[in-house]
Structure 1
């Protein structure tokens, strides 16, 4: 099995957004892509531990690049990349719900945002064994297959109740508007009668 260094070098030598970006930086600075990548990773890691606004940086890493690649996947003819990024967003959504509760306990931990960033990068990594594929196949998919009929039933019931409530509210509003319009018409007619009688007396 190749080491982390070999995997990183293969990734940096491949045809991808990061490799192209680092290639441009290498051409301008003369520093090899491997050293630029490791230096950037170390700097980012230190910033996520000690820097201000680490939460925002971490969320940007987990959202901006996947959103950009997801749009490209939608626009492409290949449907395989759609499945890959849909899986990522499912895992990202589940993680966001879990994080809402765990964040209260762990946000003060100095390596929390570094760990979160590493987790999100693992989930979006361009490998077949990335985090989103593993978590989806081992946890989310079995849970879904076991409970999806119950969830569908609950969603259907809630949808029916919401539709009935919307119909009731709409009927109530229409009835109120009709009653108000009728009342205003009657009041307008009663005010017009005295002025008519006065004009006849004159």
Structure 2
């Protein structure tokens, strides 16, 4: 566990942060040799990081695995060994140069496929959302119409034909007000029982 933590810190500090700062300095100074040096490093480091994901899963049980990783990162950075430069010039550049056309074709196909897939699933998603919205609106309209249907014309006509007797301090007829409340309560209770 301690070896894992130390290796993560070394890779973070010496494998990522220090080279990032050195790359910044190269950009600021506009020195082409430094550009090339750090671009080679970042290409090798990207490959190292990709391989590291799988090697951490399968090789972490090997003795001194994390120490070897630390030594490798230091070797890549060292101005004496120029590890990233050596790996890039001897292995990566020749391999990428010979396979460049195939890789470019594959990337173009992947871009086209991903665009088509995005459009296809985007349309499906919009169709699902539209269907859900229509169903929700239809269901909501059905609930509203059921609620309105629960008040019959007879209830409304009996409400209008009530005598106008008002209580002191009230603007609505007393019996009509009481009947309206009772009618609303009974209709609400019957609706709640029916929907349960």
Q: TM-score, normalised by structure 2?
A: 0.62
1:83 partnered with 2:36: yes
Deviation at 1:149, TM superposition (A): 1.1
Counterparts of 2:144 and 2:4 in 1: how far apart (Å)?
72
The 1:157–1:134 alpha-carbon spacing in structure 2 relative to 1, beyond 3 Å, is same
The 1:54–1:179 alpha-carbon spacing in structure 2 relative to 1, beyond 3 Å, is closer
Q: Secondary structure in 2 aligned to 1:70?
A: helix
Which structure's CA Rg is the greater one?
A: 2
**1:1-202 to 2 correspondences below 5 Å:** 53-59=5-11, 60-100=13-53, 104-105=58-59, 108-110=62-64, 112-126=65-79, 130-197=82-149, 198=151, 200-201=153-154, 202=156
Per mean C-alpha deviation after superposition, the further-off stretch among 93-102 and 62-71 is 93-102
Deviation at 1:119, TM superposition (A): 3.4
What is the match of residue 166 of structure 2? none
Q: TM-score, normalised by structure 1?
A: 0.60
Deviation at 1:99, TM superposition (A): 4.3
What is the match of residue 32 of structure 1? none
Per mean C-alpha deviation after superposition, the further-off stretch among 112-121 and 140-149 is 112-121
Counterparts of 2:3 and 2:144 in 1: how far apart (Å)?
75
- Answer yes or no: is the 8 Å Cα contact 1:62–1:120 preserved in 2: yes
Deviation at 1:199, TM superposition (A): 6.5
The 1:123–1:195 alpha-carbon spacing in structure 2 relative to 1, beyond 3 Å, is closer
Per mean C-alpha deviation after superposition, the further-off stretch among 141-150 and 191-200 is 191-200
- Answer yes or no: is the 8 Å Cα contact 1:58–1:117 preserved in 2: yes
The 1:125–1:162 alpha-carbon spacing in structure 2 relative to 1, beyond 3 Å, is same
Gaps of 5+ in 1: 1-49
- Answer yes or no: is the 8 Å Cα contact 1:124–1:132 preserved in 2: yes
Gaps of 5+ in 2: 157-196
Aligned residues: 151
Deviation at 1:161, TM superposition (A): 1.7
Counterparts of 1:62 and 1:166 in 2: how far apart (Å)?
36
